[in-house]
A and B are shown apart, each in its own frame.
Chain A
Amino acid sequence: MKKFTCRHLVFFCLRHAVLAGFLLATAYPLVWMAMTAFRTEGDAQARPLGLPQQWVMTNLAEVLRSGEFSSAYANSLMLCSASVAIAVVLAALAAFAFAQLRFRGSHVLFLLFLVGMMIPVHVTLIPLNRLLGVDGLGIKGGLVALAGPYIGFALPISILILRGAFAALPPDLLDASRVDGCSAWGVFRHVALPLSRPALATVVIFNFLTMWNEFAFALTLLGPGCETLPLALTRFKGEHDIQITQTSAALVLVVIPLIIVYVFAQKHIIRGLTAGAVKE
């Protein structure tokens, strides 16, 4: 009995040591970023790893005063919100059709959507530049140019997640709603969507994170005077130096919405990722 207790204790300590190490590796960059955001440039250069000698708000104020950063913030919020909304609506409709409606070629069509996940972003940069440029649609340079690629790249993974959630809905429940007076649209709107909230939350957050951090399309498809946050962050880096405190302050502002969204939706994300994995 004593032997078992010792072994148990050793495993307990080991397990918690590994978890603590993982937590440190994950959280420390964020903590360091937050501390750097509230210290002076000199302090950051002299003692980059220690606690700030003096907590200051000047970096945040400076970043917020910068018109370019604020406008990039607004651009990112607007673009990501609209793109996510459109992507989720389209993905939910397609996923419901793939999961619940019988039609010829549905399996092939679904596989075609999944193939979209295997296309690297960089392969599409030149074709998209030509398609959206003056010789094509002529919308390159503005935010609208980014919406198409963002939605297009969000659809495959979104459809995959939502199709799983819709397919896992109890068939009797959908039959009951049909008898209760729902058309296919009614089943989708009144039964499938409310019951797939965890999967929808997962799709919203996953896509928002991806779009919020997206750099390659923003760099190549946006024109001067129209930036998103990942591009705006590069402005804090000069040719020979980097304003580390202001960069950190900007990063804090960038990360805040994501953390807030994640904290409120983490339960849904976990449930959404496992939704449909097992029969309940």
Chain B
Amino acid sequence: MAQVKLEGVGKIYPGNVRAVKDFNLTINDGEFMVMVGPSGCGKSTTLRMVAGLEEISEGTITIGDRVVNNVLPKDRDIAMVFQNYALYPDKTVYENMAFCLKMRKFQNPNAAPGSDGFLTNLFSWWKLRQLKKAEINRRVMEAADILGIEELLERRPKALSGGQRQRVAVGRCIVRNPKVFLFDEPLSNLDAKMRVQMRTEISRLHNRLQTTMIYVTHDQTEAMTMGDRIVVMKDGLIQQVATPSDLYDNPKNIFVAGFIGTPPMNFFDATIESKNGQLIVKEDSFSLVTPPEWKSKIERYTGKKIVFGVRPEHVGSPTAEALDNAPKIPATVEVIEPMGSETYLYMKAGANGFIARVDPHRTCEVGDSIDLAVMMRSAHVFDVDTTECVV
């Protein structure tokens, strides 16, 4: 286990393409850190720089106490799970898992110092080989037991399902007992059901091993469910680093607010107006009275344009509807998506479309005009110019 520290790390590809810019992050010992962002945001490049598979153009990466900028991947004491499993097709599952151990030098703890002579050396070599073989076998069997793949050990990768292959890829990392686990979108090639199952297994594995893990994904659900902390990236820059709940409740800017959450946050172009001593969010089709505690933060935007953001579960949900004097948005139902445990209403308010997550038993028809209550204390106001969250 080890702390991983990235200080001012950048990656510049030929043609002066900057894939990662001034990346500063400290991943604590034993932490499960998830990097999330859209395709091309630099998350995989950052992971590959930690692994040593990409050269670092600027900055410093430290694993434990050692700066690893110029250390080969094999000497960084890391293990990596790849998106397409990267299992050796000509080797059995056992051989795949044992391969990294075979590549390593093995020290005999009982070796007698200063022994010489050809026969003595030959005997020592043979004994070391046997010890290494036994140790490899012990570690592979232990990892196979953890992952429940003992019966697959003699099979080749082509005879395995996607989930089994991914388990073997994880097993290949476990046997090494590395300081840091790196995962590069490991669940992307799996079907939805298997993805959920593997997600749980990886989380369980982290709880069991308590090793530092860095996990890259473009799926915000994976990020939210697995990470101790999440790094949201865009265009090679860190947008926010926070715990899943903090990221969801207090997004730093419009990008993070829109990226995290399914369905995504609803955004409205609006203005702040003052009326009867109250500040209101004014849009063409609705006016929403803001909570008094917002006043100090949004007063300076009076008469100015802002972006108003509210999550689907904070519009028309049972909790919102139960609030006294909750401001309401009048809108027309365009599409109804019953999900069983909840229903998504795709609404139209003036020129704006938005989504409301409502009670599954709420009765309404397409074309109905209804007023949906808004939980203003859970909504957000963003600065139009900086896109930063004001409230």
A and B co-occur in one complex? yes
User: Nearest Cβ in chain B — how far from A208, in angstroms?
Assistant: 24
Does A182 sit at the interface, judged by CB under 8 A?
yes
Binds A, one of B16-24, B34-42, B82-90, B346-354: B82-90
User: Nearest Cβ in chain B — how far from A190, in angstroms?
Assistant: 7
Which residues of A lie under 8 Å from residue B172 when comparing CB positions?
A: 180
Which residues of B lie under 8 Å from residue A180 when comparing CB positions?
A: 74, 99-100, 103, 172
Contact B103 A172, beta carbon cutoff 8 Å: no
Task: Indicate whether A178 sits within 8 Å of B84 (C-beta atoms), given known contacts A194-B90, A195-B89, A195-B90.
Answer: no
Mark interface residues in B138-172 (1 if CB within 8 Å of A CB, else 0): 00000000000000000000000000000000001
Contact B104 A181, beta carbon cutoff 8 Å: yes
Q: Is the interface of B mostly helix, strand, loop or mixed?
A: loop
Does A62 sit at the interface, judged by CB under 8 A?
no
Contact B86 A173, beta carbon cutoff 8 Å: yes
CB contact list, B201-260 vs A, under 8 A = none
Does B73 sit at the interface, judged by CB under 8 A?
yes
Which residues of A lie under 8 Å from residue B72 when comparing CB positions?
A: 178, 183
Does A277 sit at the interface, judged by CB under 8 A?
no
Contact B74 A178, beta carbon cutoff 8 Å: yes
Q: Which among A179, A181, A182 is the interface contact of B53 at CB below 8 angstroms?
A: A179
Mark interface residues in B97-110 (1 if CB within 8 Å of A CB, else 0): 00110011000000
Contact B74 A176, beta carbon cutoff 8 Å: no
Contact B83 A179, beta carbon cutoff 8 Å: no
User: Nearest Cβ in chain A — how far from B91, in angstroms?
Assistant: 8
Does B391 sit at the interface, judged by CB under 8 A?
no
Query: In the complex, what residue of chain A is closest to B84 when comparing beta carbons?
Result: A172
Does B389 sit at the interface, judged by CB under 8 A?
no
Contact A175 B86, beta carbon cutoff 8 Å: yes
Contact A175 B74, beta carbon cutoff 8 Å: no
Contact A183 B74, beta carbon cutoff 8 Å: yes
Give Cα distance in the complex from A91 to B315, angstroms.
68
Which residues of A lie under 8 Å from residue B53 when comparing CB positions?
A: 175, 178-179
Which residues of B lie under 8 Å from residue A257 when comparing CB positions?
A: none
Which residues of A lie under 8 Å from residue B281 when comparing CB positions?
A: none
Contact A176 B90, beta carbon cutoff 8 Å: no
Give Cα distance in the complex from A179 to B99, angstroms.
11
How many chain B residues touch the partner (CB < 8 A)? 23
Contact B82 A182, beta carbon cutoff 8 Å: no
Number of chain A interface residues as a range: 10 to 19
Does A170 sit at the interface, judged by CB under 8 A?
yes
Query: In the complex, what residue of chain B is closest to A178 when comparing beta carbons?
Result: B73
Mark interface residues in A164-208 (1 if CB within 8 Å of B CB, else 0): 000000101101111111110010001100110000000000000
User: Nearest Cβ in chain A — how far from B69, in angstroms?
Assistant: 16
Which residues of A lie under 8 Å from residue B83 when comparing CB positions?
A: 172
User: Nearest Cβ in chain A — how far from B47, in angstroms?
Assistant: 11
CB contact list, B60-81 vs A, under 8 A = 72-74, 78-80
Q: Which among A170, A181, A182, A191 is the interface contact of B84 at CB below 8 angstroms?
A: A170
Give Cα distance in the complex from A178 to B90, angstroms.
17
User: Nearest Cβ in chain A — how far from B182, in angstroms?
Assistant: 8
Mark interface residues in A151-174 (1 if CB within 8 Å of B CB, else 0): 000000000000000000010110
Contact A186 B103, beta carbon cutoff 8 Å: yes
Contact A176 B103, beta carbon cutoff 8 Å: no
Query: In the complex, what residue of chain B is closest to A182 when comparing beta carbons?
Result: B103
Task: Indicate whether A179 sits within 8 Å of B51 (C-beta atoms), given known contacts A170-B86, A172-B83, A172-B86.
Answer: yes
Contact B88 A181, beta carbon cutoff 8 Å: no
CB contact list, B79-137 vs A, under 8 A = 79-80, 82-84, 86-90, 99-100, 103-104
The 9 closest A-B pairs by CB, nearest first: A181-B103, A180-B100, A176-B86, A172-B86, A181-B74, A172-B82, A178-B73, A179-B73, A179-B80
Binding site for A on B (CB under 8 A): 48, 51-53, 72-74, 78-80, 82-84, 86-90, 99-100, 103-104, 172
Binding site for B on A (CB under 8 A): 170, 172-173, 175-183, 186, 190-191, 194-195
Q: A173-B88, A177-B88 are in contact. List 6 more A-B contacts (CB 8 A).
A: A175-B51, A175-B82, A178-B52, A179-B74, A183-B74, A194-B88
Q: List 24 A-B contacts (CB under 8 A).
A: A170-B84, A172-B83, A172-B84, A173-B88, A175-B53, A175-B73, A175-B80, A176-B80, A176-B82, A176-B86, A176-B87, A177-B99, A178-B72, A179-B73, A179-B79, A179-B80, A180-B103, A181-B103, A181-B104, A182-B103, A186-B103, A191-B88, A195-B88, A195-B90
